[in-house]
Chain A
């Protein structure tokens, strides 16, 4: 590929994701269009057509085929990339499990979009979160800079020999995918130096034939499941180390699996995901000015889940809230379920706030409401665990 100098770009989240893949010198991209992801693979096709990279660009018939093509390419030793959203991710579901079980560190940004029915195109996390058990490292970005940095880190983390798992960086539909922000892009040399060459453990090679993913009796599968489980556990260490290395090299620190904001002396904290975090930071500052001791946890990773980090913070606060943009019907938001699981045994209220489903805006007032409920929960036992913020026909 052509050498790319470091530059400051003004770019959408989708362009940034494509540029991230370019910087990482991916070998194969398999693509199928779906709003609001389309621009990612389309921009990458421009890089190919303009001769900036010599990557192979494969146009396929569906997302299921896109993931299948990536799996085969990665298994033959290539570094691969694709992107999807919503229905496309749901259609890919079957192949996601194959990618992780074959230990192929494919990187695939998912632009979070609501999953039908009814059909919508706006932001909701009910596309990526149901992929929880597929064995993919899954994280959410707050802004376009994080999209770029996370794609670079995704290859570094996923390709580590103690991890070897595919990675799914998520970005909120339109709020990031189609919104222009300034982004600092490092040079391709710096990125190459940081992530190194993809050095697969085993590759499909006609000169040294082997079979992968073949029919396996019960004598083998359980150990493979265990190994993938250990790999996901190892990913925590890999993420912590990689964000540190990244900060040293590029000057931007993402603090491992979560980022704490004004949590040190906080009475109550709210854990948020995705772009809502940016709004929540402002609310925290405003409430702090009014003397309310509130803090914020930016939940970056869903898999592996930062249980230890959250528990450490929860030990020093009197109530914790979790914001979710998806719902596991009848139980609560996926992040809430995980958080409560992580905090099992601790005696403090863990509350769930659902807002912004189907792409509805989450505004400062919504987040103020969440903190208000948390501060109240500090004083008296809350009546319920799950709060539907800004929902017609539902009183809080």
Chain B
């Protein structure tokens, strides 16, 4: 793809008037946005038929930058909003892009139930291990012993393994990559977008400003080097074996890809039963 002058090949997907974005130098979110848009380009999804929903936080801003129908919901409520969209208009392609704090702390309940029901949507979670936008507090994914503003002597709370949560809750597609794995991440997002049912992609991304600086990775590049050193691709591994520990392996890959009737299909089945 050639970049000429001031035109970016993905410009047509963006709300140019909203650019430049708010993300810090070295943040992984730009890579995720880029990967998502490239994945989108490779699918047959009609942009007029696509809705993107996000919650609150740095990742939550993604919905505002993509030039499709989008909604920036209240904190934690992206998935219920997306569920409403999908049920009211089953033909719509619904994508949730939000952060780990939004999707798994305040909104954790919604995540497990949407996965359990197998609502046909794609959820992309950008996991930066902390509450980035509010300045770097402990979140539900902060690895043990990590330092945050509220845990200066190290975190003592066991974090979520998001892929394990997704799998245990019933997601039909579960994959994890880091922001370093730009192409593989793009491929997984594409697969998730094409997947029928509740698909989940976790992308571990750098947050140099609020997480990295407190954990010996002061720049985005330091984090990328860390990902390069620690990442191990293990497709098909049981997600429960892919816990994240500080200094330990970061197991990435496609972990789950199964078939299961979606909520909408069950609804249709029920309707057919009574309209014989």
A interface, CB within 8 angstroms of B: 31-35, 38-39, 41-42, 45-46, 49, 57, 59, 61-62, 87-88, 91, 116, 119
For residue B60, which residue of chain A has the nearest CB? A119
B138-175: CB near A (< 8 Å → 1, else 0) gives 10100000000111110001000000000000000000
- Return B78 CB to nearest CB of chain A, in Å: 13
Are B76 and A38 neighbours in the complex by a CB distance under 8 Å?
no
Known: A33-B131, A35-B134, A38-B135. A57 touches B150 (CB 8 A): yes
**Complex CA–CA separation, A88 to B131 (angstroms):** 15
14 A-B pairs whose Cβ atoms sit less than 8 Å apart in the complex: A33-B131, A33-B134, A35-B133, A42-B149, A42-B150, A45-B149, A46-B152, A57-B150, A59-B150, A59-B157, A61-B108, A62-B76, A119-B56, A119-B72
Partner of B140, one of A49, A61, A91: A61
Known: A33-B134, A33-B137. A49 touches B153 (CB 8 A): yes
Partner of B135, one of A33, A62, A87, A88: A33
B105 at the interface (CB under 8 A from A): yes
Chain B residues contacting A41 (CB-CB under 8 Å) are 150
- Return A37 CB to nearest CB of chain B, in Å: 9
Are B153 and A59 neighbours in the complex by a CB distance under 8 Å?
no
B34 at the interface (CB under 8 A from A): no
Are A34 and B134 neighbours in the complex by a CB distance under 8 Å?
yes
Are B138 and A87 neighbours in the complex by a CB distance under 8 Å?
no
Known: A42-B150, A45-B150, A49-B152. A59 touches B133 (CB 8 A): no
- Return B98 CB to nearest CB of chain A, in Å: 14
Chain A residues contacting B140 (CB-CB under 8 Å) are 61
Are B106 and A62 neighbours in the complex by a CB distance under 8 Å?
yes
B interface, CB within 8 angstroms of A: 56, 72, 74-76, 105-106, 108, 131, 133-135, 137-138, 140, 149-153, 157
Chain A residues contacting B157 (CB-CB under 8 Å) are 59
- Return B70 CB to nearest CB of chain A, in Å: 13
Chain B residues contacting A62 (CB-CB under 8 Å) are 75-76, 105-106
- Return B188 CB to nearest CB of chain A, in Å: 28
- Return B193 CB to nearest CB of chain A, in Å: 26
Known: A45-B149, A59-B138, A61-B106. A87 touches B133 (CB 8 A): no
For residue A43, which residue of chain B has the nearest CB? B149
**Complex CA–CA separation, A252 to B149 (angstroms):** 34
Chain A residues contacting B149 (CB-CB under 8 Å) are 42, 45
For residue A61, which residue of chain B has the nearest CB? B105
Chain A residues contacting B137 (CB-CB under 8 Å) are 33, 38, 42, 59
For residue A118, which residue of chain B has the nearest CB? B72
For residue A119, which residue of chain B has the nearest CB? B72
For residue B150, which residue of chain A has the nearest CB? A45
Which 7 pairs of residues, A with B, have the shortest CB-CB distance?
Answer: A33-B134, A62-B106, A45-B150, A38-B134, A61-B105, A33-B137, A49-B152
Chain A residues contacting B105 (CB-CB under 8 Å) are 61-62
For residue A48, which residue of chain B has the nearest CB? B150
Chain A residues contacting B75 (CB-CB under 8 Å) are 34, 62, 87-88, 91
**Complex CA–CA separation, A33 to B76 (angstroms):** 13
Chain B residues contacting A34 (CB-CB under 8 Å) are 75, 134
**Complex CA–CA separation, A119 to B134 (angstroms):** 15
Are A116 and B150 neighbours in the complex by a CB distance under 8 Å?
no
- Return A90 CB to nearest CB of chain B, in Å: 8
Chain B residues contacting A116 (CB-CB under 8 Å) are 74
Chain A residues contacting B56 (CB-CB under 8 Å) are 87, 119
Can you add 13 more A-B contacts, CB < 8 Å, to A38-B134, A49-B153, A62-B75? A31-B150, A35-B133, A35-B134, A39-B135, A45-B150, A46-B152, A59-B137, A59-B150, A61-B105, A61-B108, A87-B74, A88-B75, A91-B75
For residue B137, which residue of chain A has the nearest CB? A33
- Return A1 CB to nearest CB of chain B, in Å: 18
Chain A residues contacting B150 (CB-CB under 8 Å) are 31, 41-42, 45, 57, 59
